[in-house]
Amino acid sequence: MTVPGSNIAAGALAPAKSSAWRTELIETLWLAWPMALTQLGQIAMMTTDLALIGRLGDTAVAAAALAHIVLFSTFTMGLGLVSAVTPLAAQAFGARAPRQVRASLRVGLWAGVIAGIPLTLGQLYGEELLVALGQDATTSRLAGDYLDGLAWSLVPGWLFIALRGFMGAVNRPEPALWIMLTAIPINLGLAYALIHGSLGLPRLEIFGAGLATTIVSWAMCIAAAVVCVTMRPFRKYQVFGELFRFDGELMRRLLQLGLPISGASVLEYGVFGAAALLMGLFGTTALAAHQIALQVAAIMFMVPMGISVAATVRVGHAVGRGDPPGARRAGFAAIGLGFAFMAAMTLLVALTRHQIPYLFLGESDTAAATAALTASLLIVGASFFIADGLQVVANGALRGRNDTKIPLLFAVLGFWLIGFPFCWVLGFHTALGPFGVWIGLAIGLTVYAALLMWRFHRLTRDSMAAAVAA
């Protein structure tokens, strides 16, 4: 028997559901595009540095690859602490608690400074560390020169991330993008001048590239602080008010949330760093090709990373206002966007793989072998580009729910119990060589992404069921 009005009710429900998803996609896109472009701007600075360093030869590119291992190993140790500002501030914003928004930024800034001082000093011993790990002495010396200039960018880089996270949490990420877009040409010009000794500046070669990044990083940090103090809507939060007030409970929450993020980031960057060390055992050409191909992957990765931050904010807002269906919708809308983008970019890279390496190498006599290997690695890498995009967006959605401990365990499993052993076995115990290392990375990333998406699905399903039962 048909109940009068049942078809009307069912018909009304479907459009309402469809409208909610459409609205969520629009809101996520609106928030994600400046965040994604900001992330692209960050990698653009590194890419232009690498392109300039590439004109100094394959050895310089290999040295930059080794220096980046040291830098990112330390950078990721504190990355979670400043990244935790975003979910904490977003949840406070969703709950309409402005004092808590300000306090979330404050503890993040302090955590960045406290962690940054010893880690900056540690990078200055990068050459000795790389030699101890069996890397070529000449390449390690050049990497040490690069780190002497680059190491001092650690603290301002973290503080900028914290300030940028605060801007995004209150739905105004655009100023961080403006700062980044201004910084890119300045960094390019300054790096070129310091590398080659132009515009009356000394010729510092690879050290100059690192020094330019540090100078620009400090300028970006100061500009972001000025924006937060002077511009609407940020100034109403008085972000530097009570700067020296210690909030033990909030610092504890930041550490509980941020340390697992740092741990997962260290494990992720660590496995890529270990892969680079494995590539170094195949020779300079393999290491240079690996670095260029990985830089291409990193450029693509920046857009899903921006979507990931948007997912953290959107999920955090829903959690703050007590909306479990909204949190689930926000997370899966962002995951869908990340998948669509990475699928399109994977196809583009596959079609242009032979031209891409020369953007970094120029047309030198020694470039052909490196370019050919890079093009082959990009084809192998296509298998993990999509998985890499999915894992970072799913991670962002989980952070919006303050869920970071279980993802840390997933990172141990995906990257080190599965991914790295496959890198070693396929790279050195089969005929695949360097390609085997990249296949191992793809396997680890795929497992990690699948686990994270399953985790978000289960948590949001359970929270919705609990809300209905209540």
| Chain segment 413-458, per-residue pLDDT in tens | 999 999 999 999 999 999 898 899 999 999 999 999 999 999 999 9
* Rounded CA separation 447/250 (Å): 33
Q: Which domain holds residue 218?
A: 24-469
Q: How many domains does the chain have?
A: 1
The two tokens of residue 24 are 């969520």
Per-residue CA distances from 247 to 22, 79, 107, 110, 457 (Å)? 40, 20, 8, 11, 33
CA 460 from centroid of its chain's CA atoms = 24
Q: Is residue 367 part of a domain?
A: yes
* Rounded CA separation 289/343 (Å): 23
The pTM is what?
Answer: 0.83
Q: Is residue 1 part of a domain?
A: no
* Rounded CA separation 28/30 (Å): 5
Q: Is residue 125 part of a domain?
A: yes
Q: Is residue 16 part of a domain?
A: no
Q: Is the dihedral of CA 197, 203, 206, 210 positive or negative?
A: negative
* Rounded CA separation 272/258 (Å): 21
Residue 356 CB neighbours (<10 A): 20
Q: Which residues of the chain have pLDDT under 70?
A: 1-17, 362-366, 470
Q: Are 432 and 470 in contact (CB under 8 A)?
A: no
Residue 465 CB neighbours (<10 A): 11
Nearest to 116 by CA among 89, 66, 88, 151: 151
Q: Is residue 3 part of a domain?
A: no
User: pLDDT at position 429, please?
Assistant: 92
Nearest to 209 by CA among 253, 144, 132, 150: 150
Residue 16's contacts (CB-CB under 8 Å, 6 or more residues apart) are: none
Q: Are 119 and 74 in contact (CB under 8 A)?
A: yes
Torsion-angle region of 135 (φ positive above 0: left; ψ -120 to 50: alpha; else: beta) = beta
Q: Is residue 330 part of a domain?
A: yes
Count of CA atoms in the C-beta half-sphere (13 A) of 259: 7
Torsion-angle region of 121 (φ positive above 0: left; ψ -120 to 50: alpha; else: beta) = alpha
Q: Is the dihedral of CA 171, 174, 177, 182 positive or negative?
A: negative
User: pLDDT at position 7, please?
Assistant: 44
Q: Are 408 and 263 in contact (CB under 8 A)?
A: yes
**Percent of the chain whose pLDDT exceeds 90:** 44
